[in-house]
Structure 1
Amino acid sequence: MTPFGARLRALRAERGVTLKRLAEGLQVSAAYLSALEHGRRGAPSAGLVHQVNEFFGLIWDEADELARLARLSHPRVTVNTAGLTPEQTALANRLAQAIHRLTPEAVAALHAVLDSTAQQPKPRLRRPAHSAGRAARGV
């Protein structure tokens, strides 16, 4: 099951919506939605995510979260390690080989490591106050 599939199933359960009813509302097949929920189909399109948001009345943070989960829901991931170090390539391969054996705690720990190393946005360069004043005066 993918993160998007798990959230979609939870939304249906919370709101008492059957797979058939949701499929009719989104104008897709129930088989397609079932495949999405179970991770047998690729990540949903942005258009489908928007339709799901509208169907369930999700706005703001909930809608953003569903879109984020959709982006993380590719059931067959490919990692391009060309140009990376041998250690990074080995890590990608080890993860691919061992992921099915990881405990929920180990998965959470790996997420925490990745979250702590996420690149921070570059700070915007600000012009010193005295430079701004000069520019305004044409100096």
Structure 2
Amino acid sequence: MTPFGERLRALRKARGMRLKDLAEALQVSAPYLSALEHGRRGTPGPGLIHQVNEAFGLIWDEAEEMVRLARVSEPKVAIDTAGLDPEATRLANRLAARFRSLPPAAVAEIAAVLDRHAPAVRPRPAQAAHGDGRRGRRRASP
């Protein structure tokens, strides 16, 4: 389960909604919504996040929390080690190969090491700056 899926499911359950009813409200299929809740689908797009916020009446901090959770909910991640020390590449590959078998305590230990030694990196925004899939500055119209 992803952080976004976990929160989505908790919101739905807290409001006594059936999966089928929420899927209908969001105009998605129930199987898709179930897969999203269980982390078997990729990060939801900005439109779906907005629909979720609307469906649950989330505003301000709660709505921003859903955007933040979506940013950290990609179930299939890639680590780019190009240009890094060979040991970093070996570590990334070992972690990828063994990650599913790590007990929760080991995941917590690794997270703690990262928090202590690696600077926080701001995730890419879940919503493009222009809302149309393009990033960066808008060109002036002719």
Q: 1:109 offset after TM fit, Å?
A: 2.2
Q: 1:9 offset after TM fit, Å?
A: 0.9
Instruction: Kindly indicate whether residue 27 of structure 2 is the aligned counterpart of residue 27 of structure 1.
Output: yes
Aligned to 1:6, the other structure's residue is in SS state helix
Q: Give the superposed CA RMSD.
A: 1.8
Identify the residue that residue 111 of structure 1 maps to in structure 2. 111
Poorly superposed stretches of 4+, deviation over 3 Å: none
- The amino acid of 1:28's aligned partner reads V
- The amino acid of 1:92's aligned partner reads A
Q: 1:110 offset after TM fit, Å?
A: 1.9
Residues 45/104 of structure 1: CA separation in 2 closer, same or farther (3 Å cut) = same
Q: 1:78 offset after TM fit, Å?
A: 1.6
- The amino acid of 1:105's aligned partner reads A
- For residues 119 and 71 of structure 1, what CA distance do their matches in structure 2 show? 14
TM-score, normalization by structure 2: 0.76
Percentage of matched positions with identical amino acids: 66
Identify the residue that residue 124 of structure 1 maps to in structure 2. none
TM-score, normalization by structure 1: 0.78
Q: 1:61 offset after TM fit, Å?
A: 2.3
- For residues 98 and 39 of structure 1, what CA distance do their matches in structure 2 show? 19
Q: CA deviation digits over 1:102-130, x for unaligned, max 9?
A: 22122122222223322489xxxxxxxxx
Instruction: Report the number of matched residues.
Output: 121
- For residues 109 and 67 of structure 1, what CA distance do their matches in structure 2 show? 26
Unaligned runs of at least 5 residues, structure 1: 122-139
- The amino acid of 2:100's aligned partner reads H
Residues 119/2 of structure 1: CA separation in 2 closer, same or farther (3 Å cut) = closer
Choose 1 or 2 for highest CA Rg: 1
**1:43-122 matches, cutoff 5 A:** 43-116=43-116, 117-119=118-120
Identify the residue that residue 6 of structure 2 maps to in structure 1. 6
- For residues 32 and 119 of structure 1, what CA distance do their matches in structure 2 show? 32
Aligned to 1:81, the other structure's residue is in SS state coil
- For residues 99 and 61 of structure 1, what CA distance do their matches in structure 2 show? 32
Aligned to 2:53, the other structure's residue is in SS state helix
Residues 60/110 of structure 1: CA separation in 2 closer, same or farther (3 Å cut) = farther
Aligned to 1:84, the other structure's residue is in SS state coil
- For residues 51 and 115 of structure 1, what CA distance do their matches in structure 2 show? 33
- The amino acid of 1:25's aligned partner reads A
